[in-house]
């Protein structure tokens, strides 16, 4: 009547089922199933070719290792099943060492078959990986389209309303007032909210001061008058654009323009989402251009002021010649020579005048 202990030993393995909670909706398994169903032909072909190489290699190794007289053979390859086991272990792993070929022909066959078999056994992993990449791209494209469709519909709706606003009395519904419907409130929340309002402290009445501010009364009176006028306009039957004040018409047109521009901006954002890689690449290019411009400005300043930084390949005399101070000094030398020549001409003219 005792419960078997062997069953209790395997009970901790059931805790591994808790890992299924990580993927509640099993989306990853569904994606894998879709990939396999999409590329089932390619996977089937590669698996069949792999098994063909496996069976062919096993048969050739068995033929090469076993002699014609089976009674004289005492090696490890006693049957075709042993050769099949050797081929499977050699293709999938590095081998266990219990079975290995001894003849040269069997070694060559094992090398060739393993090379081709591993190549074909790796193809399904590549097919599934490429299918997964294609599936991820399709999901991203579907997400982009799902974001783009509401934005495009919003642009079309606001464009039509903006067009109707400039058609005069052609579209009467554009100028009619409408009331937004309030959101539904859960019926379970209402009793809690009512209980909270009942438990709140009542508003205390403040004593009215004798120095009553009449400006506040005037403001409230004006506000109530405006509210009454607005209520009258809302209750009025609007059949044409002439039934509304001009400021109302202008406000409606401005609102339509703003909504249309906002819808266009949202559509542009949905069509061209921000890519972090592109932003980083643009910032890197901008930084490189800015550093090149700053280096050019620094080089020109150094050349102008005659510092020692620019043109390290030039000698000191050439650096001095291209600096601003050297150019100013050359201009001063030219001015001095010109002044000396003018003085010589002046003395020559005075001597000629004295002789005559």
Q: What is the DSSP string of 68-105?
A: S-GGG--SS--SHHHHHHHHHHHHHSS--SS----SHH
Q: Please give the average per-residue pLDDT across 275-303, as a whole number.
A: 84
The pLDDT assigned to 257 comes to 92
Indicate if the alpha-carbon torsion angle 91, 94, 95, 96 is positive or negative. negative
Question: In the chain, what percentage of residues exceed pLDDT 70?
Answer: 70
How many Å apart are CA 301 and CA 299, to the nearest integer? 5
What is the Cα–Cα distance from 270 to 268, expressed in whole angstroms? 5
User: For residue 48, what pLDDT band results from cuts at 50, 70 and 90?
Assistant: confident
pLDDT of residue 2: 62
Does residue 156 carry a pLDDT above 90?
A: yes
8 Å CB contact between 267 and 151: yes
pLDDT higher than threshold 90 for residue 39: no
What distances in angstroms separate CA 247 from CA 65, 228, 254, one per listed residue?
102, 17, 10
* pLDDT-based confidence at residue 312 (cuts at 50, 70, 90): low
Average pLDDT over residues 74-101: 80
State the pLDDT at residue 236: 55
Q: CA-CA distances (angstroms) from residue 167 to 94, 148, 243, 258?
A: 81, 29, 15, 18
pLDDT band at 191 (very low <50, low <70, confident <90, very high): low
What is the Cα–Cα distance from 81 to 58, expressed in whole angstroms? 9
- pLDDT (0 to 100) of residue 12: 75
- Tokens 């590329």 locate to 39
Cα(242)–Cα(184) distance, rounded to whole angstroms?
36
Token pair for 36: 């396999």
Whether pLDDT at 324 is above 60: yes
Residue 328 has pLDDT above 90, yes or no: no
Q: What sign results for the dihedral spanned by CA atoms 244, 246, 251, 252?
A: positive
CA–CA distance, 323 with 307 (Å, rounded to integer): 8
Residues sharing a CB contact under 8 Å with residue 253, sequence separation 6 or more, in sequence order: 165, 166
pLDDT at 47 over 90: no
Of 315, 8, 272, the closest CA to residue 151 belongs to: 272
Mean pLDDT of the chain: 75
Q: What is the pTM of this model?
A: 0.45
Q: In the chain, helix, strand, coil percent, each to 5?
A: 75, 0, 25
Residue 215 has what pLDDT?
Answer: 47
User: Which has the minimum average pLDDT: 62-66, 260-264, 273-277?
Assistant: 273-277
pLDDT tens string 200-252: 444 443 343 344 344 444 445 445 555 555 555 455 556 667 777 888 888 88
Cα of first residue to Cα of last residue in the chain, in angstroms, is 158
Does the pLDDT value for residue 60 go beyond 80?
A: yes
pLDDT for 211 equals 40
Residue 16's pLDDT is 73
């Amino acid at each position: 009547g005792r419960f078997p202990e062997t069953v209790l030993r395997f009970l901790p393995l059931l805790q591994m089922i808790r890992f299924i909670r990580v993927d509640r909706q099993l989306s990853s398994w569904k994606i894998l199933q879709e990939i396999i169903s999409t590329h089932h032909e390619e996977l089937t072909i590669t698996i069949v070719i792999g098994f063909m190489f496996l069976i062919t290699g096993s048969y050739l190794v068995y033929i090469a290792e076993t002699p014609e007289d089976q009674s004289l053979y005492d090696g490890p390859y006693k049957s075709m099943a042993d050769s099949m086991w050797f081929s499977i272990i050699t293709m999938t792993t590095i081998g266990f060492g219990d079975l290995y070929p001894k003849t040269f022909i069997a070694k060559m066959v094992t090398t060739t078959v393993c090379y081709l078999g591993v190549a074909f056994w790796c193809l399904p992993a590549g097919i599934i990986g490429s299918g997964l990449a294609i599936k991820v791209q399709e999901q991203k494209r579907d997400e982009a389209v799902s974001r783009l469709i509401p934005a495009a519909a919003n642009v079309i709706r606001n464009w039509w309303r903006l067009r109707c606003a400039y058609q005069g009395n052609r579209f009467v519904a554009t100028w009619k007032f409408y009331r937004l419907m309030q959101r539904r409130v859960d019926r379970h929340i209402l009793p809690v909210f009512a209980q909270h309002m009942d438990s709140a402290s009542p508003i205390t009445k403040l004593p009215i001061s004798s120095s009553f501010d009449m400006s506040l009364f005037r403001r409230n009176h004006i506000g109530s008058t405006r509210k009454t006028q607005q209520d009258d306009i809302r209750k009025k039957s609007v059949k044409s654009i002439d039934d509304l004040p001009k400021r109302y018409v202008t406000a409606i047109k401005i609102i339509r323009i703003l909504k249309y521009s906002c819808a266009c901006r949202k559509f542009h954002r949905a069509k061209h989402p921000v890519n972090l890689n592109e932003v980083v690449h643009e910032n890197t290019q901008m930084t490189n251009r800015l550093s090149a411009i700053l280096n050019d400005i620094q080089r020109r300043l150094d050349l102008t002021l005659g510092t020692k930084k620019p043109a390290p390949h030039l000698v000191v005399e050439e650096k001095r010649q291209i600096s601003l101070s050297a150019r100013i000094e050359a201009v001063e030398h030219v001015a001095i020579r010109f002044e000396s020549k003018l003085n010589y001409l002046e003395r020559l003219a005075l001597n000629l005048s004295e002789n005559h």
